[in-house]
Chain A
Amino acid sequence: MLVMLMAGVAPSLPTPQGKPKVLIFLATGCPCVFSHRETFGSMLKKYGSKVDFSIVFIDKNDDKEEMVGMIESLGWDIKYIIDEDQKLLNQYHPKVSTDCVLLTPAGKVVYKGAVDDSPLNYGQIKEFYLKNAIEDFFEGRPIRVRLGEGIGCIINYKK
């Protein structure tokens, strides 16, 4: 099921009470996310009821059909947001598309960066950054790695 939310209203996104939130920043012209299709997809299945996941499409010129097409290609059950005025970009400053943020229910960023490091290792995942961060959060532990370097498309921040 795809639900589109109004853009650029991050702090008051209709998040179910008390749930942490994951935003993944994507552009339809950037295929790098396909490197994380399985890892992120399995997180959606495993934590979908406990974590509020959303895609943030960062380029408002992206075609809506392409956004829906991309989500279908990824095979993810996830809602999406269009970041019309780059409000979410300016709030969270992801470096590349495919970067994610993990937010506490109070909206504090506890992890930022790549889903995992598979693009650096021919698909082999040595660091499950986002999954580890989610686990650490639920276990009440300090987050192991708080910033994971991502391989993705450079985001065009408008001045």
Chain B
Amino acid sequence: MKNIALSATLLFIAFLFACTAPEPENTPVHDPMDYEKVLGAPEAVVETEDFPENTISGPLAYAPDVPKLNTGDVVHVRIDVQHKLIEIKEGVKFWAWPFGDDVPGPVLRVKVGQRVIFKMANRSMETIEFSPPMPHSIDFHAALVSPSDKYRSVPPGQTITFEWVANYPGVFMYHCGTTSILQHMVYGMVGMTIVEPKDGFPGEVDREIALIQNEYYLKEKEDGTYMVDFDAARKKQPMFVAFNGKPAQYVQNPIKVKAGERIRLYLLNVGPNDQSSFHIVGTLFDKVWWDGNPVNEMRGMQTVLLGASSGAIVEFTLPEPGTYPFVDHEFADVEAGAVGLFIAE
């Protein structure tokens, strides 16, 4: 009985509000996300073919560089996987499994509506003497497709081809999805996709920079080389945290910019385990587009919190000449290498 009385009262209050609430002044007339999305794509094909000389081709560049868009509705992209000894810091080398030639893999840039014809060869056979060849795959967070088809594991020596259409603008992760996924990611199988809105990102900027944060879980072997420490990865105890693959690389080699110029930073935390609290000392983010979609806009932020696989676009200016550190403001990560410098001249 009591409940019925209460419900009736609430209903009455709701009715009053409905009658008396003022009309919103700026009723949105246009939903920028209200366009047709392309779902799914033809079945993936796995076959044996000759490998080209280069491991990557298409609108790709290694961060901090940001690639140029390809024109046209169809974009051909190739990112091969290899096993490769990489040096992430002076004296710290390990056999990684990079997409392309480096960790993280190359940044891919496309725009909404473009159809990506993607190819990936698993070249891990080429270094069988040093690193056991194994199946690999690729999972594009930017795509709307069936993972059990497009993201299937490709045996060593074979090539997968599949398509996807960019539907949502943003900054997205790609990574290997072969089990154990944690292992494949700590071996370096991570990267960034930038998807521009159909008409480009709103507003003009003077400079674009890509920063990808990742953790390394390594241990030193007796001979002084390093190997992945899977136990440390499972316990989330990284040896290094890096921007663009090399811990603290931009401390000794800062990124040079101009005071007062407007900078657009494409940010992605590829983890695989930890979050990033990205902050630049001496400025604020004028605009933050959460996950890189201009629809998700925030203003005047000090720090952007990125969970594993979260991205953002931040726009800012460095107000006057000087040295501006950028950090993951979780300071244990700074100690592990998640720090760099902008020099504004």
Binding site for B on A (CB under 8 A): 27, 29-32, 34-35, 59, 63, 66, 69, 73, 96-97, 118-123, 151-156
Q: In the assembled complex, which residues on chain A have CB atoms less than 8 Å from the CB atom of B179?
A: 32, 34-35, 118-119, 122-123
Q: In the assembled complex, which residues on chain B have CB atoms less than 8 Å from the CB atom of A66?
A: 227
Q: In the assembled complex, which residues on chain B have CB atoms less than 8 Å from the CB atom of A35?
A: 179-180
Contact call B133/A122, Cβ cutoff below 8 A: no
Interface mask (B215-232 → A, CB under 8 Å = 1, otherwise 0):
000000110000100110
Contact call B129/A156, Cβ cutoff below 8 A: yes
Contact call A27/B132, Cβ cutoff below 8 A: yes
Q: 22 A-B pairs, CB-CB below 8 angstroms?
A: A29-B95, A30-B132, A31-B183, A34-B180, A34-B183, A34-B230, A35-B179, A69-B231, A73-B230, A73-B231, A119-B135, A119-B153, A119-B179, A120-B153, A151-B135, A151-B153, A152-B134, A153-B133, A153-B134, A154-B125, A154-B134, A154-B156
Confirm or deny: B27 has a beta carbon within 8 angstroms of a beta carbon on chain A.
no
Q: In the assembled complex, which residues on chain B have CB atoms less than 8 Å from the CB atom of A118?
A: 179
Find B134's partner among A32, A69, A123 (CB 8 Å cutoff).
A32
CA distance A154 to B158 in the complex (A): 13
CA distance A119 to B135 in the complex (A): 10
Q: In the assembled complex, which residues on chain B have CB atoms less than 8 Å from the CB atom of A120?
A: 153
Nearest CB on A from B154, distance (A): 11
Q: In the assembled complex, which residues on chain A have CB atoms less than 8 Å from the CB atom of B133?
A: 153-154
Confirm or deny: B3 has a beta carbon within 8 angstroms of a beta carbon on chain A.
no
Nearest CB on B from A19, distance (A): 30
Confirm or deny: B128 has a beta carbon within 8 angstroms of a beta carbon on chain A.
yes
CA distance A121 to B179 in the complex (A): 10
Q: In the assembled complex, which residues on chain A have CB atoms less than 8 Å from the CB atom of B128?
A: 154, 156
Chain A residue at minimum C-beta to C-beta distance from B133: A154
Tell me which of A27, A31, A153, A156 has the highest count of chain B C-beta atoms within 10 A of its own C-beta.
A31
CA distance A27 to B95 in the complex (A): 15
Known interface pairs A32-B179, A119-B179; 20 further A-B residue pairs with C-beta atoms within 8 A, sorted by A's residue number: A29-B95, A29-B132, A31-B180, A32-B134, A32-B180, A34-B179, A34-B180, A34-B183, A35-B180, A63-B221, A69-B231, A73-B230, A73-B231, A97-B132, A119-B135, A122-B148, A152-B134, A154-B128, A154-B133, A155-B132
Given known A-B contacts A73-B231, A119-B153, A30 and B178 have beta carbons under 8 A apart: no
Q: In the assembled complex, which residues on chain B have CB atoms less than 8 Å from the CB atom of A155?
A: 132
Q: In the assembled complex, which residues on chain A have CB atoms less than 8 Å from the CB atom of B131?
A: 29
CA distance A116 to B281 in the complex (A): 52
Nearest CB on B from A120, distance (A): 8
Find A30's partner among B134, B147, B221 (CB 8 Å cutoff).
B134
CA distance A97 to B135 in the complex (A): 12
Q: In the assembled complex, which residues on chain B have CB atoms less than 8 Å from the CB atom of A154?
A: 125, 128, 132-134, 156
Contact call B132/A153, Cβ cutoff below 8 A: yes
Nearest CB on A from B330, distance (A): 27
- Near A by CB (< 8 A), chain B positions 128-178 give 128-129, 131-135, 147-148, 153, 156, 178
Contact call B221/A156, Cβ cutoff below 8 A: no
